[in-house]
Structure 1
Amino acid sequence: MSLLSSAFRHTGRNMLQTWKSQVMTLFTVSLSILIFSFFYLSYFNALHIGQELGDDLRLIVYLDEEPSPPLQEEYRRKIKKFDQVEQIVFVSRQEAFLRFEKQLGDDKDILLDIQQDFLPPSIEVYPIKTLDSLSRIKRFSDYLYTLPGVLKVQYGKDWIERFYSFIQLMRIIVILSGFLLIMTTTFMVAHTIRLTLLSRQRELELLRLVGATDNYIRMPFLFEGAFQGLIGACLGIGALYALYNWIILQFSGSSLFQLFPFSFLPLPIVAVLIVASTLLCSFGSFSSARKTLRL
Structure 2
Amino acid sequence: MNFIVILLRQTGRNMFHTWKAQTMIIFTVALSVLIFSFFYLIYFNALHLGEKLGEDLRLIVYLEEEPVESLQEEYRRRILRFDQVMRIDFIDSRQAFERLERQLGQDSDILTGVPRNFLPPSIEVYPVPSLNHLSRIKRFSDYLLTLPGVVKVQYGKDWIDRFYAFIQLMRIVTLLSGILLIMTTTFMVAHTIRLTLLSRQQELKLLRLVGATNTYIRMPFLLEALLQGLLGAACGITALLVLFNWIKLQLAGPLPALAHLPFTFFPWPIILCIVLLSSLLCTVGSYSSTRKILQL
User: In 1, Cα distance between the equivalents of 2:179 and 2:13?
Assistant: 32
User: In 2, Cα distance between the equivalents of 1:252 and 1:68?
Assistant: 50
**Superposition map of 1:71-150 within 5 A:** 71-150=71-150
Asked whether the equivalents of residues 193 and 221 of structure 2 are also in contact (C-alpha less than 8 Å), the reply is yes
Whether 2:175 is the aligned partner of 1:175: answer yes
TM-score by length of 1: 0.98
User: In 2, Cα distance between the equivalents of 1:122 and 1:225?
Assistant: 64
- 1:77 maps to a residue whose letter is R
**Superposition map of 1:248-259 within 5 A:** 248-253=248-253, 254-259=255-260
Which whole-Å deviations, capped at 9, do the CAs of 1:5-31 have from their partners, x for residues lacking one?
111111111111111111111111000
- 2:28 maps to a residue whose letter is T
**Superposition map of 1:212-231 within 5 A:** 212-231=212-231
Pairwise CA distance, 1:258: 2.1
Whether 2:191 is the aligned partner of 1:196: answer no
User: In 1, Cα distance between the equivalents of 2:111 and 2:90?
Assistant: 23
User: In 2, Cα distance between the equivalents of 1:42 and 1:181?
Assistant: 17
User: In 1, Cα distance between the equivalents of 2:170 and 2:283?
Assistant: 29
Asked whether the equivalents of residues 52 and 129 of structure 2 are also in contact (C-alpha less than 8 Å), the reply is no
Other-structure match for 1:268:
269
Runs of 4 or more consecutive aligned structure 1 residues displaced over 3 Å after TM superposition: none
Pairwise CA distance, 1:262: 2.5
Q: Give the percent of matched residue pairs that are identical in Structure 1 and Structure 2.
A: 65
* Secondary structure in 1 matching 2:188: helix
User: In 2, Cα distance between the equivalents of 1:17 and 1:152?
Assistant: 74
* Secondary structure in 2 matching 1:46: helix
Other-structure match for 1:64:
64
Other-structure match for 2:37:
37
- 2:228 maps to a residue whose letter is Q
Asked whether the equivalents of residues 48 and 262 of structure 2 are also in contact (C-alpha less than 8 Å), the reply is no
* Secondary structure in 2 matching 1:56: coil
Which shifted more, 143-152 or 11-20? 11-20
User: In 2, Cα distance between the equivalents of 1:152 and 1:246?
Assistant: 46
Which shifted more, 105-114 or 9-18? 105-114
Structure 1 residue ranges without an equivalent (≥5): none
- 2:247 maps to a residue whose letter is I
User: In 1, Cα distance between the equivalents of 2:217 and 2:44?
Assistant: 42
Which whole-Å deviations, capped at 9, do the CAs of 1:22-55 have from their partners, x for residues lacking one?
1111111000000001111111111222122212
Which whole-Å deviations, capped at 9, do the CAs of 1:75-127 have from their partners, x for residues lacking one?
11111111111111111111111101111111112222111111111001111
Which shifted more, 150-159 or 5-14? 5-14
Other-structure match for 2:25:
25
- 2:258 maps to a residue whose letter is F
* Secondary structure in 1 matching 2:55: helix
User: In 2, Cα distance between the equivalents of 1:269 and 1:5?
Assistant: 32
User: In 2, Cα distance between the equivalents of 1:61 and 1:248?
Assistant: 39
User: In 2, Cα distance between the equivalents of 1:262 and 1:70?
Assistant: 45
- 1:269 maps to a residue whose letter is I
Other-structure match for 2:244:
244
User: In 1, Cα distance between the equivalents of 2:187 and 2:68?
Assistant: 69
User: In 2, Cα distance between the equivalents of 1:282 and 1:77?
Assistant: 56
Other-structure match for 2:289:
288
- 1:260 maps to a residue whose letter is L
Which whole-Å deviations, capped at 9, do the CAs of 1:108-159 have from their partners, x for residues lacking one?
1222211111111100111111111111110110000000000000000000
Pairwise CA distance, 1:292: 1.1
Aligned alpha-carbon RMSD (Å): 1.0
* Secondary structure in 2 matching 1:251: helix
Whether 2:186 is the aligned partner of 1:186: answer yes
Corresponding residue pairs, total: 295
User: In 1, Cα distance between the equivalents of 2:252 and 2:128?
Assistant: 32
Pairwise CA distance, 1:261: 4.1
Which whole-Å deviations, capped at 9, do the CAs of 1:203-244 have from their partners, x for residues lacking one?
111111111111101100000110000000001011111111
User: In 1, Cα distance between the equivalents of 2:244 and 2:259?
Assistant: 16
